[in-house]
Structure 1
Amino acid sequence: MKDWWKAVFPKGREVVKITDANGYPVSISFGEKGTGKPLFLIHGIGGWSYNWRYNIDTLAKHFRVICFDAKGYGFSDKPLYREKNDHQIIEFKRIISALCDRPAIVVAESLGGLISLAVAQDYPELISDLIVINVPIFPEGLPHWGMSLLSQIPLDLLQVVDLGRITTLFAPLVKEVLAIERRSVLFDPTNFTEEDAYWMSYPYIEFPGTLTKAAEDIQIAVKEMQRNQNYQPNLISKIQKNLAIIKCPTLVLWGEQDSWFSYKQGEKLSKLLPGSQLKIIPNCNHDASSGSPDAVNTAVLEFLGVKKLSKFS
C-alpha cells in the first residue's frame, strides 16, 4: 500500500516536538499543504489525519492546511504514562504555537471540536475563526457499544494486549471491527472502501499503544460525564458555562442524521455562542468530514469568505 502521507502532502509526514501536559517531550506527526493563512484540521477520538482525506486538497487551494495526529493517535507518540483530563487542550495549544506564529483557522470534528472550544476559551489569541462539527458538548452517555466496552476494560490489561502485539496477530479482525464502526456513522456506508479500512485500522495494528490511549481518553470522558451529572467540577460543564466568552467568528456544522448526537444539540450550542452561525447538513451522519465532504468543504469555504464554490478538487 502506498505511503498515504507522501501521496497527500508535498513533504510527506513531518514531525514537531512539543512538551506534553505531563511535562515530557513527545513527537507529533503532521502534514501540511497549501499556502496562506494557517488552517488546522482536528480529528475526533480514535481517528487520525486520514479522517480528513476528502477535505485537504480542496481547502489547501485557499489556505495553508495543517493536519496533525493528536498524541496517542495515528503516527504520533503513544507514551505509557497516564494522562491528565485536560491534556489534549494543553497539547493542542502547544502544537498550534509550534507550527504557526499567527492566529489560525480551526476546523474540528467530534471530540476535536470540544477540545477546540476549550482552546478558544483559554487561548483566544490562537484562533481567528472556528468551525466545529458534531460536537459532544451536551453528552448524556457514550454513543457507541465499542466505546462502552473500552470504558470498562482496565488500562493495564489493554496495555498488555497492545505491547504484546495482539492486535497485529488479529489484524483482519481489528480491521473488520473498525470498518463496521466507521460505516455505522456514515449516511451511506458503501462509501467506506477497503483502502479506508486499511488506513483507519493501520495505527491500531502497527503502533503499540494506540488502543490503550484511545481507551484512556474514553475513560477520561466517562469520568467527566459522571462528574457533570453529579454536579461536581468537570471540564464539560466548564466549557458549557464559558461558551459566551468565545469571541472569534464561529460556525456550527451538524449532520441532520447524526446518530451519536442529535442536531438539536447543534441548535442549542449555536444559541449559546454569541454571533455564531449554524448549518445543518442533510443526508449526513456523525462522520461528516468523510461522509459528506463536499457539503463540509462548501460550508467551511463560504463561512471563510471564499466564493465560487461549484467544484472542488
Structure 2
Amino acid sequence: MTIFRTGWQHLFVETNRIRLHCVTQGEGELVVLLHGFPEFWYSWRYQIPALARHFKVVVPDLRGYNDSDKPQTGYDLDTLSQDIQGLIQELGYARAHIVGHDWGGAIAWHLAQTFPQSIQRLAVLNAPHPQRFMQELVR
C-alpha cells in the first residue's frame, strides 16, 4: 500500500479471480465510486477528499482499466457487478453507498438489481435507468 501526501492510499484487492487497483481515503461507511468510459479512478479526484471527511471512499479502476487486471473476458454487466460485489466483501463490508458515472452508472444500476442487499444508497450520474433506456431503443 502506498500513501501519498494527498491522503490517498493505493491498494490492490483480489476479487472475482482478478486484481483491482483501488484508491481509498477516509473511515466510516463505505462509498464506492465507479468511473465511466474511458476514465479511471483519477476522474473522482475532487470528490474523494470531500467524501472522505465522512466516509471510507474506495475508487476502483474497473476491470480492464489503468492498473487493474485486463483479462480477455468478463466485460459484461454480470461479471463487472460481481467484481464490485466482491470488492465490497473483500473490504469487510456488507453494504455500500454506490455512485456510478457513465459506464460506471450502468454497472451501478446492474449491481443494485443483482445484489440489492449490498446497496445502502445508489446515485447514478449520466446514465439512464436500464428500463427507460430499453424503451427508447425500441421506439
Q: For the superposition of Structure 1 and Structure 2, which TM-score range results when normalised by the shorter chain?
A: 0.7 to 0.9
1:47 matched to which residue of 2? Answer: 39
2:19 maps to 27
Query: What is the rounded CA distance, in whole Å, between the counterparts of 1:56 and 1:78 in structure 2?
Result: 25
Structure showing greater Rg: 1
What is the aligned partner in structure 2 of residue 92 from structure 1?
84
Do the aligned residues in 1 keep the contact of 2:30 with 2:93 (CA within 8 Å)?
no
Match 2:15 to one of 18, 39, 48: 18
TM-score normalised by length of structure 2: 0.83
Secondary structure, aligned partner of 1:66: strand
Query: Residues 178-189 of structure 1 correspond to what in structure 2 (within 5 A)?
Result: none
SS across alignment from 1:58 = helix
Instruction: Kindly provide the amino acid, as one letter, of the partner of residue 94 in structure 1.
Output: G
1:287-313 deviation per Cα after TM superposition (whole angstroms, max 9, x unaligned): xxxxxxxxxxxxxxxxxxxxxxxxxxx
Q: What is the Cα deviation at residue 136 of structure 1?
A: 4.6
SS state of the match for residue 69, structure 2? coil
Using the alignment, how far apart are the partners of 1:118 and 1:130 within structure 2?
11
> Given residue 102 of structure 2, which amino acid in structure 1 is its aligned partner?
S
CA contact (8 A) 2:88 2:94 kept: no
2:52 to 33, 46, 60: 60
- Superposed CA RMSD in Å reads 2.1
Q: Look up the equivalent residue of 2:12 and give its one-letter code.
A: V
1:127 aligned partner, one-letter code: I
Separation in structure 1 between the aligned mates of residue 95 and residue 86 of structure 2, nearest angstrom = 13
- Deviation of 1:5 (Å): 6.6
1:60-209 mapped onto 2 (5 Å cutoff): 60-79=52-71, 81-83=72-74, 85-86=76-77, 87-137=79-129
The counterpart of 1:240, out of the listed 131, 134, 139, is 131
Choose between structure 1 and 2: higher helix proportion: 1
- Once the two structures are TM-superposed, the CA of residue 102 in structure 1 deviates from its matched residue by 2.7
**Does structure 2 conserve the Cα–Cα contact (< 8 Å) formed by 1:13 and 1:29?**
yes
Q: Distance in 1 between matches of 2:75 and 2:58?
A: 25
Report the CA distance shift for 1:5/1:42 in structure 2 as closer, same or farther (over 3 A). farther
| Match in the other structure for 1:6 | 4
Residues 123-165 of structure 1: CA distance to partner in whole angstroms, max 9, x if unpaired? 011111111101054xxxxxxxxxxxxxxxxxxxxxxxxxxxx
Q: Say which SS state the counterpart of residue 4 (structure 2) adopts.
A: helix
User: Structure 2: how far apart are the matches of 1:69 and 1:59?
Assistant: 18
Structure 1 unpaired stretches of 5+: 20-24, 138-238, 242-264, 266-313
Question: Which runs of 4 or more aligned residues in structure 1 lie more than 4 Å from their structure 2 counterparts after TM superposition?
Answer: none
- What is the number of residues matched between the two proteins? 131
CA distance in 2, matches of 1:5, 1:73: 21
Q: 1:131 to 1:50 in 2, by over 3 A?
A: same
Higher normalized strand content (fraction of residues): 2
